[in-house]
Amino acid sequence: MSKAKRLMELMMAVNRKKKFTVKELAREFDVSTRTILRDLQELSELGVPLYSEVGPHGGYQVLKERILPPIAFTEEEAVAIFFACHALRHYSFLPFETESSSALSKFYYYMSGDVRDRIDQMKNRVDFVTPRRQAQFPYLSILLDGAIYQKIILIDYESREGKSSRQIQPIGLYASSGLWYCPAYCFQREDYRVFRCDRIHSATYDPSTSKPRDLRHIHLGNRESVIKLEQEHVSLYVELSQEGVQKCEAELWSVPSLHIRNNGTGWLEGNIPSSDLPFFAKFFIGLGNEATVKHPQELVEGMKRILAEIMAKYE
């Protein structure tokens, strides 16, 4: 076996193993322990994060940040992956911000000159527009880890009702119009809630013995799951003009409830969280004559109050 092939297979082997010794690898690859030691040193210099322990029960292990084995991409695949990462640049905060930037740099650096030239031209021809926000989202990573590993997170949260401390178990993260949201189970409310991540002022793992809930069956694969998390709902029906339909198509929450007629007009019909009525009142006022709210009556009354307050400013 050539040295290059052995190093590649060795990289894949150590990634598969939680812990290993030099003797074990020497037997597996049928080489001397001295050769394996040299190979491990080369892998370490290439960036494989190896950690060694001395003693009778010692050995080697790969740290959490494992290195993937070489993967062959076609030019089109590499360009597509580059722009998938490039599209995220409008977000000042990401749950994997450093890693995405590093991956983007690696893709660009190892591409051939003509492919880099092509990408440089495409950067000025393709864009994924996302509103830039001044809001801060410093806790995305811990919230995402909490969702993946089913952990309870302690947060300080600021809502319309004021500041409070909460025990939550995140379900996931999603971005909409430049803002990040975290659907989660709230142990204080004993119900599901959607938290705006810029309103989370601190987030730490819960040190108590509280038992996490099994939320593996709840995920964001279905967009309706984001809307149906809360138990208290009201029925919504809104008539939309053609322009109203187009504006609602851009809203994540509206997609499951949006119906479009052949002439381009449409309507919204479905259930919405009752706690979000103030948001919907402002949203439909913003649509002006392009939307007509039929029910719920609480939403209509809320819109009237807001419009009366606006009119009072100009009397």
SS3 62: strand
Q: Which residue, among 277, 280, 259, 279, has the nearest Cα to 269 in the 3D structure?
A: 259
Q: Is the separation of the CB atoms in 285 and 306 below 8 Å? A: yes
Q: How far is CA 67 from CA 14, 169, 199, 285, in A?
A: 10, 30, 35, 52
Average pLDDT of the segment spanning 165-188: 89
User: Residue 85: its pLDDT value, please?
Assistant: 78
Nearest to 168, CA basis, from 180, 154, 158: 154
The stretch 264-276 carries a mean pLDDT of 86
Class for the domain spanning 3-62: mainly alpha
Whether residue 97 has pLDDT greater than 70: no
Residue 203: band (very low, low, confident or very high) from pLDDT cuts 50, 70, 90: very high
Look at 47-56, 99-108, 170-179, 240-249 and tell me which has the smallest mean pLDDT. 47-56
Provide CB contacts within 8 A for 175, sequence distance 6+: 91, 130, 181
* Encoded tokens for 85: 């990462």
Topology of domain 233-313, CATH: Alpha-Beta Plaits (3.30.70)
pLDDT of 259 reads 92
Q: Which region holds residue 297: left if phi is over 0, alpha if psi is between -120 and 50, else beta?
A: alpha
Give the separation between CA 136 and CA 77, rounded to whole angstroms: 33
Average pLDDT over residues 303-314: 94
Q: Quote the CA–CA distance of 148 and 215 in Å, as a whole number.
A: 10
Sign of the alpha-carbon dihedral angle for 287, 292, 294, 298: positive
Q: Is the peptide bond before 207 cis (omega within 30 degrees of 0)?
A: no
For the CA atoms of the chain, what is the radius of gyration? 26
- The stretch 34-48 carries a mean pLDDT of 82
Of 198 and 56, the one with more pLDDT: 198
**CA of 190: how far to CAs of 35, 74, 241, in Å?**
59, 49, 39
Question: Could you give the CA distance from residue 228 to residue 271 in angstroms, rounded to a whole number?
Answer: 8
pLDDT at 225 over 80: no
Which of 43-52, 121-130, 220-229 shows the lowest per-residue confidence on average (mean pLDDT)? 220-229
- Average pLDDT, integer, range 7-36: 83
* Listed ranges 108-122, 180-194, 241-255; the one with the highest mean pLDDT: 180-194
Task: Please give the DSSP secondary-structure letter assigned to residue 19.
Answer: S
pLDDT band at residue 227 under the 50/70/90 scheme: very low
- 140-227 is a CATH 2.30.30 domain: yes
Q: Which residues contact 245 (CB under 8 A, 6 or more apart)?
A: 258, 260, 264, 265, 266
Distance CA(67)–CA(47), nearest Å, equals: 8
Q: What is the mean pLDDT of residues 205-221?
A: 84
> Is pLDDT larger for residue 56 or for residue 152?
152
Across 54-82, average pLDDT:
69
Residue 81 has pLDDT above 90, yes or no: no
Give CA–CA dist 182/170, Å, rounded: 6
pTM for the model stands at 0.61
- Per-domain residue ranges for the chain? 3-62, 75-123, 140-227, 233-313
Query: What is the three-class DSSP state of 228?
Result: coil
Say what the pLDDT of residue 228 is.
52
